[in-house]
Amino acid sequence: MKNKKISIIVPVYNVQKYLDKCLKSIISQTLTDIEIILVDDGSTDSSGLICDKYAKKDKRIKVIHQKNARQGAARNAGIKLATGDYIGFVDSDDYITSDMFEKLYKKAYIYDADIVMCDYANVKNGIVKYHRSRIAKQFLRIMGFFDIKKINPQPDSRGKFAIMSSCCNKIFKKDLAKKYLHFPEKLSFEDSTPVFHTLAMANKIAVVNERLYFYVSNQSTTKSNDARVLDLITVDSMMVDNLHNFDYGYFTKFCVIGLIRDVFRHFHKIDKKFQYEYFSRLKDLLLKMKKYNLLKYLGFKHRLKAFIYMHFGFKISKMISKI
């Protein structure tokens, strides 16, 4: 049997309010040569039934029902089953334009790209918020495709870090994804480490400078008053190991600065009941980064904060976290 052009993986968990809109946006794609893999991660609402309903109507849809193991495990299950030439992801509370995967695939075909990414918009309370392009201008100036290890993407905004870390605004060549795109399981913040690793292992990355993906903010999003925020340190520790063990080239600097900004930002905002545990894990993470000589990529302010967190107590560190 001939492979489909793209396998689209959708992890599903208790999203009955959003799932219809998500699935309608996928089955109406102008690129019809696709397979759609819905992974019901132990939903306790009607989400699993909705998946089965759509599978009966559309032969391109496959459904996996599994015990709840979080989004990373659901994505990994989908990757194992995927047969498409490329693999893409859509979160089950988000939606996409009808031509998203056609545009990404065309760009991939023209340049034989390992990964193609597009821009996205945020949706909050039903309102679509278009910001300036979140894709680094340096990428957009490059004609065709680029090797991320050979250019120096400056993470001078949260947006650029976000556009790179998400798996949902990209398609990945199947062989590359199956080799490198392994999501941490039973953890939140599972995107950035495997996505950055896969980006660094790719040879050709292309960009479609259009907002084709719509990210819906809702109550399931991990907040700083949620114990799951502690997972951020665990996942970032995995990224630090990758930075030490593999050649990321110039992309190393981008990853280190983005990682530090993220963990420092959460330390400032985190709920009081998680602050000390978060600080202890953050200190261990910084000591590991020092051991691997990764702190050299930080600017003066972040180096100073890192020094204080590593060598002074919790109270002083919390005081300067706002700076």
Res 163: pLDDT: 74
| Strand-pair partners of 234 | none
Predicted confidence (pLDDT) at residue 252 exceeds the cutoff of 90: yes
Give the model confidence (pLDDT) of 81-110 as tens digits: 999 999 999 999 999 999 999 999 999 999
Res 218: pLDDT: 74
Res 215: pLDDT: 94
Least confident of 74-88, 222-236, 287-301: 222-236
Res 219: pLDDT: 54
More confident residue, 30 or 223: 30
Cβ burial of 288 (10 Å; 0-12, 13-18, 19+) is: middle
Predicted model pTM: 0.93
Res 132: pLDDT: 58
Q: What is the mean pLDDT of residues 183-206?
A: 95
Closest CA to 34 of 166, 167, 171: 171
Predicted confidence (pLDDT) at residue 264 exceeds the cutoff of 70: yes
Q: What is the mean pLDDT of residues 73-84?
A: 97
Predicted confidence (pLDDT) at residue 67 exceeds the cutoff of 70: yes
Predicted confidence (pLDDT) at residue 282 exceeds the cutoff of 70: yes
Q: At 61, is the pLDDT very low, low, confident or very high (cuts 50, 70, 90)?
A: very high
| Strand-pair partners of 121 | 214
Predicted confidence (pLDDT) at residue 140 exceeds the cutoff of 60: no
Q: At 200, is the pLDDT very low, low, confident or very high (cuts 50, 70, 90)?
A: very high
- Secondary structure of the chain as H, E, C letters: CCCCCEEEEEEECCCCCCHHHHHHHHHCCCCCCEEEEEEEECCCCCHHHHHHHHHHHCCCEEEEEECCCHHHHHHHHHHHHCCCCEEEECCCCCEECCCHHHHHHHHHHHHCCCEEEEEEEEEECCEEECCCCCCCHHHHCCCCEECHHHCCCCCCCHHHHHHHHCCCCEEEEHHHHHHHCCCCCCCCCCCHHHHHHHHHHCCCEEEEEEEEEEEEECCCCCCCCCHHHHHHHHHHHHHHHHHHHCCCCCHHHHHHHHHHHHHHHHHHHCCHHHHHHHHHHHHHHHHHHHHCCCHHHCCHHHHHHHHHHHHCCHHHHHHHCCC
Q: Are 145 and 111 in contact (CB under 8 A)?
A: yes
Predicted confidence (pLDDT) at residue 304 exceeds the cutoff of 70: yes
Least confident of 96-100, 224-228, 281-285, 288-292: 224-228
Neighbours of 229 (CB within 10 A): 21
Q: At 125, is the pLDDT very low, low, confident or very high (cuts 50, 70, 90)?
A: confident
Cβ burial of 65 (10 Å; 0-12, 13-18, 19+) is: middle
Neighbours of 1 (CB within 10 A): 4
- Report the C-alpha gap between 83 and 7 in whole angstroms: 7
Res 94: pLDDT: 97
Output b/e per residue, 40-58; b: 16+ Cβ within 10 A. bbbbeeebbebbeebeeee
Res 146: pLDDT: 87
Q: How far is CA 83 from CA 159, 197, 205, 261, in A?
A: 32, 22, 21, 37
Domains along the chain with CATH numbers: 6-217 (3.90.550.10), 227-320 (no CATH)
Q: At 220, is the pLDDT very low, low, confident or very high (cuts 50, 70, 90)?
A: low
Q: At 141, is the pLDDT very low, low, confident or very high (cuts 50, 70, 90)?
A: low
Query: Backbone phi, then psi, for 279, in 5-degree steps?
Result: -60, -45
Predicted confidence (pLDDT) at residue 80 exceeds the cutoff of 60: yes
Give the model confidence (pLDDT) of 161-194 as tens digits: 767 889 999 999 999 999 999 999 999 999 999 9
More confident residue, 309 or 130: 309
- Report the C-alpha gap between 59 and 259 in whole angstroms: 41
Structure tokens at 194: 């495997």
Q: At 145, is the pLDDT very low, low, confident or very high (cuts 50, 70, 90)?
A: confident
Predicted confidence (pLDDT) at residue 222 exceeds the cutoff of 60: no
Q: What is the mean pLDDT of residues 278-283?
A: 96
Average pLDDT, the chain: 91
